Structures are given as structure tokens and as C-alpha cells.
Amino acid sequence: MSRIGWAVHDGHIVALRNVRKIRRVPEVLVFVLISPIMFVLLFAYVFGDSIPIAGLDYREFLIAGIFAQTVIFGATFTGAGIAEDMQKGIIDRFRSLPMSRSAVLVGRTASDVIYNLLSILIMTLTGLLVGWRIRGSLIDALGGFLLLLVFAYAFSWVMAFVGLLVPSVEVINNASFIVIFPVTFIANTFVPSENLPGPLRTFAEWNPVSAVTQAAREAFGNTNPALPPPDVWPLRHPVAYTLLWVGIILVVFIPLSVRQYQRAAAR
């Protein structure tokens, strides 16, 4: 078997180990399921009648943004899980086994796709209950969900790198909030980017979170067809811009994470 084949095989085993952990720590699953429901209900009913969107119900504008924010927050499980394994010495046990050096990272990031898939399922059901509807085709909607998961998977490699740098789970949680909150709020997730002032609008328009949110809205048919298309390239071509960022993140952070894992595990 090739080196890549061994990495995939061993990564699959590590991913199963992370998923089975839910049975021993059910609180993780509770957070995965309850948090998306809370976000959808709070934003739908607190801001639902307060933020006007031209030709569109705010709940339909909102849901794609909630999806994007939640799957990105879901990527923090990668960083926290790796930091916890480092802290408890589990990484040292893995090093003593005849397994691929990248398997821990591959398995960790892959298992978090399952967490995000559960979150999306729960958010979809909750969104339907509060009045959100998919106006486009089923194929387009599935494409939107897939793009969200692909972007979240790429972002999980960023958090994997951070999880290998920091000394504890507490630090990774605080560090992730410092990064994720500005990235997800200075975007078109909850309000149109054109409503933001000057520099914040420019940042939001080129923010990849805005692109994946816009792509999801278009896939769900949650846009106003009477309005002209966005005048900035990332929002006019959100799928292409999102996939461009996915490629950049993976190319940069997979080698960085593997290298940092080797350094951290050798301490």
C-alpha cells in the first residue's frame, strides 16, 4: 500500500475512534445538537422582524449565515481534540504504533465532518420549523450543503495547526473565539455586506465566509432575483472564490500541521 493509502487507512481508524468517543462523552453530542438550535431560534426571533432585507424574509436570508458560522465553529473541535490528546499523552501512544504520521490529523479533521453534518441536519430541521424554505432545486441545495462542509473541513486544518501550537484546551477555545467571531460577524452572514461602513464593508466583501454564505443562499434559492448581482468578484462568483480559499488553506495548513505535529510529538 502507498504512503497516501496508509495515511487514509490509519486516518479512518482514528476517525472512528473520535466518533466512538461520543458514547463516552455524550456532552459533546449535546453541544453539537443544541447549539445550532439555539443559534437559529435566537437570531430568527430576536432579529427576524428588526432587520429588513429587500424582497426577502429575514429568516431565509439568515439561515445560510447561521450554517456558515456553525460549521466554522464546529472546526474548533479539531483544535480542542488535538490539544486534549497532546495534554493527556495520547499522541505519545500513537507515536509508538506502526501508523502513518499524518493519520491523527487526517482522522481528527475527518471526524469533525460528521459533527458538522449532524449540526447541518439539526439546523435544517429547525430552520424549516421557523419558516425557512429551500426555494431552489434539491440538487442545488445539496451542492450548497456540500460546499459548507468542504469549507469547514479546510478550516479544521487551520484549527488543527492552532491546536498543536497551544498548550491546553482552554487556550484553544479562547484563541478560536478571538479568530472566528470577527471572521463570521464581519461578513454577510447576518446583515448584507453593503450595510456595513467603509473598511468593514470591504473586508466583508472579500471575506471567504461571505462567499460561502452567498453560495449557500444562491443554492437554497434564498436571494432576491429582482436585485442586481453583487458588484464585487468574490460575491459574484462565490463558489469559485470559496473553492479557491479551500485550496489555499489546504495547501498551506496541511503541511504546516503535519510538520508541527511531528515537532510537538517529539517534545
**pLDDT tens column, 140-194:** 999 999 999 999 999 999 988 888 887 677 777 777 778 888 899 999 998 888 8
| 3-class SS of residue 53 | strand
pTM attached to this predicted model: 0.87
pLDDT value of position 227: 75
Q: Is the pLDDT confidence value at 111 over 90?
A: no
Sign of torsion, CA 8 14 15 17? positive
Q: Which domain holds residue 156?
A: 3-265
Name the grid cell of 246: 479551500
Name the grid cell of 23: 458514547
User: Using 50, 70 and 90 to split pLDDT, how confident is the model at 101?
Assistant: low
Phi and psi at 164, nearest 5°, equal -85, -15
Say which residue, 132 or 84, is predicted with more confidence.
132
Would you give the distance in Å from CA 207 to the centre of its chain?
A: 14
Number of independent structural domains in the chain: 1
Give the helix ranges, DSSP H, for 25-137.
26-46, 58-74, 76-88, 90-95, 103-129
Q: Is the pLDDT confidence value at 3 over 60?
A: no
| 3-class SS of residue 51 | coil
What rounded mean pLDDT belongs to the chain?
81
- 10-14, 22-26, 90-94: least confident range: 10-14
Distance between CA atoms of residues 233 and 261, nearest Å: 36
The residue type at 228:
P
DSSP H or E stretch at residue 48: none
User: Using 50, 70 and 90 to split pLDDT, how confident is the model at 100?
Assistant: low
Neighbours of 258 (CB within 10 A): 20
Closest CA to 187 of 235, 241, 256, 149: 235
| 3-class SS of residue 56 | strand
Distance between CA atoms of residues 8 and 93, nearest Å: 19
Burial of 84 (0-12, 13-18, 19+ CB in 10 A): middle
Distance between CA atoms of residues 11 and 111, nearest Å: 9
